[in-house]
Amino acid sequence: LLTLPFVGSHEITFVLTDGSVTTHFTNYKIYEFIQGEDLEIDLEDEENAIFEVDCDYSKFANQVTVEGEELDSSCYTSRPGSTIVELYYDYLKTLEADEDYDITIYFDDGIAKTEFEIDDIDDDEVIEYKETPVKLSGTPTKTGDNPFADFFRFFIFWNYLYIN
């Protein structure tokens, strides 16, 4: 028996080596994502990527593909709560940054498929600190130069002269 992961209702015609023709109908469901659809993953966060699909966990076929290649179970974990698939950070950092990837999660009666993007540290977001010299205009004030103190001294001297 040949099983192909077609989505939707399809008629598949097989021509066998003995010349006979057989027709087979498939009907796969497309499950929706609750979390993780079109996910942007920032490697700088050093976190796993979580995808949650609106399908009972008992239907999960223990098969996840990225770009059509089946992932080893050491690259992800799965658990109930609908169906939650978590790609490990160690796997994510092996993927090329600034690229889009297709992920497909397989169930006994259908699939869930979306894209995710791996973002790397953006050099444009790094803020550089540069010292800028400040130019002063006018003459600098010397220690002891205080116009208020000069006025106060003049006022005291004037009062001294006026009283005497």
For the chain, the average pLDDT equals 79
Instruction: Please report which helix (H) or strand (E) contains residue 13, including its range.
Output: strand 8-15
Q: Is the pTM of this model over 0.85?
A: no
Q: Both tokens of residue 24?
A: 């087979």
Which carries the bigger pLDDT value, residue 164 or residue 163? Answer: 163
How much is the pLDDT for 6? 47
Q: Both tokens of residue 84?
A: 């939650």
- Tens of pLDDT, residue by residue over 58-67, are 999 999 999 9
How much is the pLDDT for 15? 61
Look at residue 120 and tell me whether its pLDDT is greater than 70: yes
Q: In whole angstroms, how far apart are CA 146 and each of 18, 140, 156?
A: 111, 12, 16
Report the C-alpha gap between 118 and 41 in whole angstroms: 5
How much is the pLDDT for 156? 72
- Tens of pLDDT, residue by residue over 32-54, are 999 999 999 999 999 999 999 99
Report the C-alpha gap between 58 and 108 in whole angstroms: 9
- Tens of pLDDT, residue by residue over 74-107, are 999 999 989 999 999 999 999 999 999 999 999 9
Look at residue 2 and tell me whether its pLDDT is greater than 80: no
DSSP letters of 62-119? Answer: EEEEETTEEPPGGGEEEEETTEEEEE-HHHHTTSPTTEEEEEEEEETTEEEEEEEEEE
